[in-house]
Structure 1
Amino acid sequence: MSSDTEEARSCRTCGTVKEAEEFHRHQGGRRVHCKECMRAQHRERYRTQNGKDRVFDQSLRRLYGITLDQYNVMLAEQKHRCGLCGEVPETERRMHVDHEHATGRVRALLCHHCNLLIGNAKESIGRLRLAIVYLERHGNHHPAARLAARLQSDPGESEA
């Protein structure tokens, strides 16, 4: 059935008569609610059923094998601070779940910047050490760089 032969119809939600293309296809025909009303229904259901947390929980389970409750426990244990730099994230967005890509083992929750740092370094300790040397050579006097240099000079301290 082509859209040329389909007649305009009335939406059961808003009562507006609209062209057939304004209704999603479904089981060989068209839905009885227009696309606009269906979007509104989905938004309302997402809002009222705490959709963000539900979707985030499903993602955590699928990607990392942890629940939203376990994520929240980790967050509380880290005092809502990044597991790498120890700072409170600059935004209200959730922290990233850092994990070993080879094994899938969850390590900690990281702020956006530290997550990018680890990811862009391809989890390579050698690459990160080279970055520290590079920053020291070019006069970066940031406190985190000084801490990293101190840890590099005393490897036993970094194992603790």
Structure 2
Amino acid sequence: MTSTTRSTTLTAPVQQALDEAIGLRSCRRCKETKAETKFPKSKKRDGTGRERTCTDCRNAKRRQEGQSTQRRKAETREQRQKRRLWEDYRLTPEQLEALREAQGNRCAMCGHEPGDGKKLHVDHCHTTRVVRALLCQTCNNAVGFYERYAAAAVQYLAVYGDGNPLLKQVPGTTRAAWPTTRQMPLIPSQGPLPTSSKAGEST
């Protein structure tokens, strides 16, 4: 009689439960299985009392973040602007200057030059990250509002464009139909209003 041995592959949750039962854990960063004592203690109420990242990986990450912070603190203003320009828009200072010269240092939307102490801002699509043009602060904010609330604005004007219907004169009287809260037409909410972008940021 021949016996057949079946190989069983444990699923990740089952393997994790078995490891924890014998005092082992798998690090979610390096993926290595180590003793529980190699993981920092945690105050999370997950029943384990240990972090999911091992001490070695946690310390390595902290060293990397510390080095990055030190490098940024040592940056000059020009170096910081160059780094942020590349990180945010994948533009070099030379490309930014070329755009500014091509637009004659004027906003691509309203055509005005920035005032004293002000500058044009890089406008880009937040979905595709594609850089579009340079805009003044006002137009930059306006494009952001338009992209988010254009549909709501059309609905609003359709209801209130000719005046508030509840404030129009009641037929046969000389008084206006003053509205109550329940009578006021409501426009569907489009989410919270976007905050004004800081100097140098764009929509």
- Interval containing the TM-score (normalised by the shorter chain): 0.3 to 0.5
TM-score of the aligned structures, taking structure 2 as reference length: 0.37
Higher helix share: 1
Q: Larger RCO: Structure 1 or Structure 2 (Cα < 8 Å, ≥ 6 residues apart)?
A: 2
Q: Which has the larger radius of gyration?
A: 2
TM-score of the aligned structures, taking structure 1 as reference length: 0.46
